[in-house]
Amino acid sequence: MSSTRRAIPVTCTTHSGGTNFCNLLMTRETDGTIVFDPHVAHCCVLRLDERAATAVFDTLGEWLGWPGADVVHTP
């Protein structure tokens, strides 16, 4: 897998698949946009600019208890 694409096994509650049944494709585009593509089907694609991606990063860090997660990053 390239360094700009990752497939992460996740659970989809909408389609009632088993645990980690769904693949979440995450792609970093050349302009820096982060794209989340659940099911790798292009049916519901989320595009995050740098500000949105940073907010997701900070929120996950806070929820997962990462050291320094209380520091808010501003792009």
Tens of pLDDT, residues 18-34: 777 788 999 999 999 99
Range of the domain at 19: 5-64
Domain assignment present for 75: no
Confidence tier at 72 by pLDDT (50, 70, 90): low
Where is average pLDDT lowest: 12-16, 42-46, 53-57? 12-16
The pLDDT of residue 71:
65
Domain assignment present for 10: yes
How many domains is the chain partitioned into structurally? Answer: 1
Domain assignment present for 71: no
What single DSSP character describes residue 18?
-
Domain assignment present for 72: no
Domain assignment present for 70: no
The closest alpha carbon to 58, from 75, 38, 72, belongs to: 72
